Amino acid sequence: MSLSTDPRSWTIGLVGYGEVGRILAEDLRALGVEHVLAYDIKDEAGLRAHAAQYGIRLAAGHAELAAGADLVISAVTASQAVPVAESCAPGLRPGTWVLDLNSASPGAKIAAAQLVEGAGGRFVEGAVMTSVPPYRIRVPMLLGGPHAEGLAPALDALGFEAKGASVELGVASATKMCRSVMIKGLEAMVIESFTAARAYGVEEAVLASLAETYPGMDWENLGAYFFQRVIRHGRRRAEEMREVAQTVREIGLEPWSAQGTAERQAWVADLADQGRFGAKDGAEFAKSADWRVEADRILAKVKPKAKVKPKE
């Protein structure tokens, strides 16, 4: 397939039209990319309204999107990385680029690559290394696989901040997954620690001790941020952490920390889904910068019999 040297003239297909997909759509259109397709399994009014607002054409399915795109960008939940590759493969034209941004294990990336390459596409592994919203399309990203170097200049022209990690598939994802053991593990630990401290009435003492031990970290603001991110995105984060656990498991190590983090993130997401945070999607949290409000809501759910005062 012969492509224009200017990637802004390409047709770019976004698989997954949630938070990340919509940010990419907005930024690509702002850059002057005229032809942007999108598909999401959730056919919601908000999705259609956003697509209409930004001039994004919605495809009827994965194969239709793949057939019409020069570059397919997959940004779905972690567990869907391989199924999406399988669904897109029948529609791929020879030479179509597929950039997989999903937070999946190295094994999942390799399996997705085999499906894409088997259909004549060119698979590039993408590992997004931090939260997308603050950076938008310029979020730091690692690229991997034998086709990464070939796609990198086009991504640069489209506004992405991507650099090569390895010609070997799985290296970029392993970097992200191992990082997530720490980053998302810290989120889960802060929620567990701060909520328990709140129940015992020792939160101020705990915060003071943490500040003394790690003076470079603003624990108050981190608490607010971590509660917010997990309440609003815990389901997606839990799926990613299950992929992280699989990454650890693939090298023969039992992923006790990663698996525990996945369970905590999913548990908080369940509370949000039940409306325990003031709105079904947990968005009510955004109205408060105080993590204590959310800790109290969690405690109201678990219903401790009484605050337990520490021994003198």
Tokens representing residue 133 in the block: 């919203």
The span from the CA of 103 to the CA of 101, in Å, is 7
311 forms bridges with which residues in the sheet? none
> Domains, the chain, ranges and CATH?
7-169 (3.40.50.720), 177-302 (1.10.1040.10)
Tokens representing residue 41 in the block: 């399994």
| Residue found by looking up tokens 């498991």 in the block | 249
Tokens representing residue 167 in the block: 């010609």
The DSSP 8-state label assigned to residue 74 in this structure reads: E
The span from the CA of 175 to the CA of 195, in Å, is 30
pLDDT tens track, the chain, 312 positions: 557 789 999 999 999 999 999 999 999 999 999 999 999 998 888 999 999 999 999 999 999 999 999 999 999 988 899 999 999 999 999 999 999 999 999 999 999 999 999 999 999 999 999 989 999 999 999 999 999 999 999 999 999 999 999 999 999 999 999 999 999 999 999 999 999 999 999 999 999 999 999 999 999 999 999 999 899 889 989 999 999 999 999 999 999 999 999 999 999 999 888 876 655 544 454 456 799 999 998 898 887 555 555 555
**If we measure between CA atoms, which residue out of 33, 40, 23 comes closest to residue 55?**
33
The span from the CA of 235 to the CA of 219, in Å, is 24
